[in-house]
Structure 1
Amino acid sequence: MQRHFNIYWLALLILPFLFSNCVKNADSKLADTSYRHWVWINPQDSDTEAELAARYKKYHDAGIVGIFFEADSEKHYRAAKSQGLEAHRWMWIMNRSDALKAHPEWAAVSRSGVSCAEKPPYVDYYRWMCPSRPEVAEFLAKDVENTLSKDYVDGIHMDYVRYSDVILAVNLWSTYGIVQTQELPEYDFCYCDICKAKFKEKYHKDIDSIQYPQENLSWKSFRYDAVTDIVNQIGKVAKAHDKPLTAAVFPTPDVAKRLVRQDWTNWPLDAVYPMIYHGFYKEDVPWIGDAVKQGMRGIDGRFPLYAGLFLPDFKNNEELDAGIKYALENGASGVSIFGDVTDEVLAILSKYNKKSM
């Protein structure tokens, strides 16, 4: 009798757990049958609530599940959420002119010894902070904390979470009148005293004594890790709020590490959004599929990948349609769109809501 009694109570304890897992698995399988699309937007104050309601309903109906907003606009966030969309704050991380204005000593320093606070590379808004400084990490963690404390913000989407481009995408060379077939000193960051001291402490090497520091593998790893440490600290804040952390990153793991010291396959993300802007690299539309394939291999199923597409890179709607197909066929969970999201673009996206079973 006692044995039957124990089995009875054991069943009562186990059954809810089994039922819960069955529901979760069913939800997961249901989610796996649908592609999820996103858009990057800079919200405009002039938009009315009626305009936003109509716009975001069309987004939702086309298979878009969330929006990355480049500014904090409660009106836009709540309008999106009222139409069933997720509303995430799209934040600049390491490129922060506001921080350097108050703290120029936080600036990244080039191999030629010039501070980003004094002479930014390429363009005036390139004001990069040094990721090795504890006060920079503290500033960013506090900034993310303040943002995620707002009930209308569903998550943090990181951008510019890297160093300045040591080498620009090849299509931009003519724009700036630069030929970057090698890493030039004025674009190679960060060589501030804090970075040099921390590198020496870890590797027992003086970076100034190395003849070709740009080729030193330990120095490369040190800088990959410095950015990753920033992401790890931001990740702790996001986890404490139980809100997702995502990132816009360079198109493939190799390109990201080579051009901007960004090792995104090793970050604690809930999803990644590589900016597979094929025109920037003078590549054709099929390259989108190649880039997705490389990214999927790098993350090895640890989190989903969404292919970032730059609408001006596509000559026509047929090319955009093909680009989306290449992304999805190679493992992307959906796409993220940057550009003018017209009704024609929405019509194309709406074709790619359900995965073929």
Structure 2
Amino acid sequence: MQLLKIAFFSLALMFVSCNTNEKSKEQTENEKTAVKEPRFKYWNWITVGHKKSDSAYAAHFNKLKSYGIDAVLINSGADPKLLKRVAPIAKKAGLEVHAWMFTTNRPGDSIALQHPEWYMVSRSGKSCFNKDERPYVGYYQWLSPSHSEARKHILSLVEGLAEVEGVTSVHLDYIRYPDVYLPIGLLPKYNLEQEEELPDYDFDYSDASVEKFMALHHKDPRKMENPAIDIEWKNFRLNEIKSLVDEAYDIVHKHNKKLSAAVFPYPEMADHMVRQRWDKWKIDMVLPMIYYNFYNEELDWIGYATKQGIEDLEGRPTELHTGLYTPKLSNADLKEAIQMAKDNGAKGVAFFDDYTLSDEQFEIIKASKE
């Protein structure tokens, strides 16, 4: 009997040992395949197309990874087929993939262009559908978030990208109204002065928007003497963007993805300039485009705007990653800008370069990695 007990315990120990070894092997394999989340993430906005070969994309993505880039925001024109082709190449290079899309501004959208009534209209009665009536530039083709069919179309594009395997987040760009105020540094380009809300740049007075507002507040913004001072009218438009973002959030989370967005520098400024109050959104990550030279500010404004956004997000789960416009940054300024973002609480930095980063800038980015 004693010998039988010894044999039984020996077998039990062997089983436990083998099982532990298997778990250890499995754990080691999982550790190998898991991508470690960087303490401070480096992002890169990039546009892709059908003409470039897979090998060319592989070479570019490998280059980005070798210089310290952790994540790519890929603009495929909201084409899930193209994204399905390119995303695995970026993933293989060790990059996190985010599906970047134009949201309320939908230039060249073949479906939307069949529906003139989907487009935003200015206080002066100009429609973003008409080529010669668009504000500032020809690609400003803004859909109204108040038009139910236009909204459904936008959200269908969000869902199409969210369904792509390997995507971490759907990244909303142009998730706002047209600029009621341009960044001050850009005004000379258009020979403009904007000291008040001008009728040609104040949107959305489309039928869908006005009817929806009137049902809520029983007044017509088209008949207001000075709609700029009507807080309900302003808040209505802020809430139209917020509700669109919140719906997109629910859609992408249904597919186990996250929602991110490129936004104006900090919430109060975004509110004033483009009807975008991003500190109130349901969203996982924001990448404020702190392009200080657009606003005739000095370099340290990057730190100021980063800190302001962090403070406005206090108590919310949203991460902030500072967006930098690299074509206007000298090598010394790029190094300092990255450090300012770190020092003021950002979780990372995103570089807008679209293939224009120089080798010297890449070296600075690589050297700044912890």
> Aligned to 1:286, which of 300, 310, 331?
300
The amino acid that maps onto 2:257 is K
User: Residue 71 of structure 2 aligns to a residue in which SS?
Assistant: strand
Provide the C-alpha distance between the structure 2 equivalents of 1:350 and 1:69, rounded to a whole number of angstroms: 21
Q: Which segments of 5 or more consecutive residues in structure 1 lack a partner in the other structure?
A: 1-29
Say if 2:43 and 2:71, in contact at 8 Å, map to a contact too.
Answer: yes
> Aligned to 2:58, which of 39, 43, 53?
53
Map 1:1-357 → 2, pairs under 5 A: 31=37, 34-71=39-76, 72-97=82-107, 98=109, 99-118=111-130, 119-300=133-314, 301-314=316-329, 316-339=330-353, 340-354=356-370
Provide the C-alpha distance between the structure 2 equivalents of 1:209 and 1:75, rounded to a whole number of angstroms: 51
CA drift of 1:152 comes to: 4.1
The amino acid that maps onto 1:223 is R
Say if 1:35 and 1:63, in contact at 8 Å, map to a contact too.
Answer: no
Say if 2:112 and 2:150, in contact at 8 Å, map to a contact too.
Answer: no
Q: Which segments of 5 or more consecutive residues in structure 2 lack a partner in the other structure?
A: 1-35, 77-81
User: Residue 34 of structure 1 aligns to a residue in which SS?
Assistant: coil
The amino acid that maps onto 1:62 is Y
Say if 1:140 and 1:234, in contact at 8 Å, map to a contact too.
Answer: no
* Deviation sequence 1:249-291 (CA, Å, 0-9, x none): 1111111111100111111111100000111101111100000
CA drift of 1:73 comes to: 4.2
The amino acid that maps onto 2:74 is F
Note closer, same or farther for the CA distance 1:117–1:51 as it changes in structure 2 (3 Å cut): closer
Provide the C-alpha distance between the structure 2 equivalents of 1:73 and 1:137, rounded to a whole number of angstroms: 22
Provide the C-alpha distance between the structure 1 equivalents of 2:230 and 2:63, rounded to a whole number of angstroms: 51
* Deviation sequence 1:43-71 (CA, Å, 0-9, x none): 25454444433432332243321101111
Provide the C-alpha distance between the structure 2 equivalents of 1:146 and 1:51, rounded to a whole number of angstroms: 25
The amino acid that maps onto 2:40 is Y
CA drift of 1:148 comes to: 1.9
Provide the C-alpha distance between the structure 2 equivalents of 1:53 and 1:197, rounded to a whole number of angstroms: 50
Say if 1:36 and 1:353, in contact at 8 Å, map to a contact too.
Answer: no
* Deviation sequence 1:56-102 (CA, Å, 0-9, x none): 23322433211011113444322110011111211000011314311
Q: TM-score, normalized by length of structure 1?
A: 0.86
The amino acid that maps onto 2:179 is D
Structure 2 partner of 1:22: none
Structure 1 partner of 2:8: none
Say if 1:68 and 1:89, in contact at 8 Å, map to a contact too.
Answer: yes
Provide the C-alpha distance between the structure 2 equivalents of 1:346 and 1:46, rounded to a whole number of angstroms: 25
Say if 1:65 and 1:85, in contact at 8 Å, map to a contact too.
Answer: yes
CA drift of 1:149 comes to: 1.8
User: Residue 335 of structure 1 aligns to a residue in which SS?
Assistant: strand
Q: Which moved more, 1:155-164 or 1:75-84?
A: 75-84
Say if 1:111 and 1:190, in contact at 8 Å, map to a contact too.
Answer: yes
Aligned residues: 323
CA drift of 1:322 comes to: 0.8
CA drift of 1:294 comes to: 0.7
User: Residue 211 of structure 1 aligns to a residue in which SS?
Assistant: coil
The amino acid that maps onto 1:64 is I
Note closer, same or farther for the CA distance 1:205–1:44 as it changes in structure 2 (3 Å cut): closer
Q: Which moved more, 1:63-72 or 1:244-253?
A: 63-72
* Deviation sequence 1:126-174 (CA, Å, 0-9, x none): 1111111111221111111122222243321100100011111111111
* Deviation sequence 1:211-262 (CA, Å, 0-9, x none): 1101211111000000111111111110110111100011111111111001
Provide the C-alpha distance between the structure 1 equivalents of 2:40 and 2:83, rounded to a whole number of angstroms: 27
* Deviation sequence 1:21-46 (CA, Å, 0-9, x none): xxxxxxxxx85x72111000012545
Provide the C-alpha distance between the structure 2 equivalents of 1:232 and 1:175, rounded to a whole number of angstroms: 35
* Deviation sequence 1:153-208 (CA, Å, 0-9, x none): 33211001000111111111111111111110011000122222222222233323
Structure 2 partner of 1:26: none
Provide the C-alpha distance between the structure 2 equivalents of 1:207 and 1:58, rounded to a whole number of angstroms: 52
Note closer, same or farther for the CA distance 1:52–1:180 as it changes in structure 2 (3 Å cut): same
Q: Greater CA radius of gyration, 1 or 2?
A: 2
Note closer, same or farther for the CA distance 1:319–1:107 as it changes in structure 2 (3 Å cut): same
